[in-house]
Chain A
Amino acid sequence: MNRKTIIPIGPYHPLQEEPEFFELEMEGEKVIDINVHIGYNHRSIEKIAESKTFDQMVFLVERICGICSTSHPIANCNAVEDLARIEIPERARYIRSIVGELERLHSHLLWAGLAGHFIGYNTLWMWIWKYREPILEIFEAVTGNRNHYAMMIPGGVRRDIKEEDIPFLSKGLDEAERKIDMVTKAVLDDPVLAARLKGVGILSREDAINYCAVGPTARASGIPIDVRRDDPYAAYDLVDWKIITQEEGDVFAKVVVRLLECFESIKIIRQCLKMLRTVKGEIAAKVKEIPPGEGIGHHEAPRGEVFHYVRSDGSNMPVRLKVRAPTYVNLPTCKATVPGESVADAAIILAAIDPCYCCTERIVTINKRTGQRELNGQDLLRLSRKKTEKICKNMGRRNV
């Protein structure tokens, strides 16, 4: 007799902020397999980008995700700058790092709070979100908005951080650091959290490598990868900071990595603010025209590496934008972490990668009559080869 049961989570489920659908295959209390269905949030951003100019595209990619809403613009600007060979002014590099790290602070705190909510520990949720508010106030003072900061343009930043803003910023940071310190100590010593999260949903080092995990998910499994160090951009090679890793790979290790990273972020922001007092000058380089060609850019978002690819044909609009968000590679790790755990732990393990489905959504066209995919992998490969041949022919080159 088949005793397998399927428990659906979603698409509209009280635990989730966003619509997504998990099928847990159960045997008694134990999860034996998991299937993920996404696509409820697909908004065709890559297609809309083709009808926007390079300046407008930054505001569009900002709306890929509301939580990492400066990561996508930074990655996008890096890609456009790579394409047009633009060198950004030093002051802009520091400001980019400050905004990027402030975002990491708010995002990690947001996740820590939601993690408390997921395991039914609402005190932690309310508590941490209260201490997240001062960081949003800093954002409002510096960028003019609590979320969606609109700070980046290709070539630099749009708003300067003025001399008179710096005391307010450092005061807010001191306050935030004190509170985060308190929260971190409380979380690390909490017997309830330790009992609930330690040894749960272990992602081994080998699995993390096999699934190409990025960001805190990989760092909690002992892999020291971080784009900020591996391929420095903005001001990350000009300041002193270190990568936080943990060896255990369980959910608790992911909490620890995120909370300790907050202190590194504060360290980076402090150094950048100090440098802003001495480094003066322009905040954006003049961008005259974007030449034909292609560029790549990435940024270490709070969830991992965000990757953008931009191709231009010399006009003022991109021909192609390709986005790879961190959740896209982190989400499949649930195949390794969830099976074998109990159904009560499945929710927090799924949330442990800090999923952001609105970044991840892809689309597949399916022929309704036959139930087959309109284009499968082979078709895409064939189309891509055909196009390469066409381009080579147009450019008068032989296909190699």
Chain B
Amino acid sequence: MNKLWALKKSIWVYHLCSGSCNNCDIEILDCLTPKFDLERFGILLVGSIRHADAILATGSISRKALPRIKRVYEQMPQPKLVIAVGGCACSGGIFKNAYNIVGPFDKIVPVTAYVPGCPPKPEAIIDGVVKVINSL
């Protein structure tokens, strides 16, 4: 049996913003509000990384945020899932060549799934999370 089966029932997500424009962040929060209501699938936004099963990561990583992001990732309990939300987190987007950006998320930590879009619609984020659950 796959050791990740425990995550299938109810993924708790932690929202990690690392130099984004806030737009993916409000769309992630939008997923949790009554119209889209991710909580009916057992997906819950948690405040502490130590309670989280998955990171919803937004933004291309800035130099100042880099050491903090590494620490947040290390504090996360195993098994770790990282879902990159938005164009910046997937590829760097419009900020790819900026001097203060150390690159897209997969350069720093292993990424499980990518949700592209600027910003991705809440439906796309839900679809991404559901695909991750199905692939476990």
Contact = CB atoms under 8 A, between A and B. Distances in A.
A130 B27 contact: no
Interface string A42-77: 111101100000000001100111110100000000
Given A42-B64, A129-B34, A63 B98 contact: no
B34 A40 contact: no
Contacts of B60: 43
A43 B95 contact: yes
Contact of A12 (B16, B30, B93, B119): B16
Contacts of A44: 95, 98-101
Interface string B80-121: 000000000000011101111100000000000000001101
A14 to B, nearest CB: 3
A66 B21 contact: yes
A184 interface: no
B77 interface: no
Contact of B95 (A15, A18, A48): A48
A117 to B, nearest CB: 9
B26 A48 contact: no
A155 to B, nearest CB: 22
Q: Which of A19, A67, A110, A130 has the most CB of B within 10 A?
A: A19
A246 interface: no
A44 B64 CA distance: 13
A39 B33 contact: no
A59 B33 CA distance: 28
A186 interface: no
Given A43-B60, A43-B101, A64-B21, A126 B33 contact: yes
A230 interface: no
B65 interface: yes
A274 interface: no
Given A14-B47, A17-B29, A40-B68, A356 B34 contact: no
Interface in A259-276: none
Nearest to A10: B68
A64 B59 CA distance: 12
Nearest to B119: A147
Interface in B32-49: 33-35, 46-49
14 contacts: A17-B17, A18-B17, A18-B20, A19-B68, A43-B60, A43-B98, A44-B101, A47-B99, A60-B94, A64-B21, A129-B34, A130-B34, A148-B118, A358-B20
Interface of A: 11-12, 14-15, 17-19, 39-45, 47-48, 59-60, 63-67, 69, 110, 113, 125-126, 129-130, 133, 146-148, 356, 358, 363
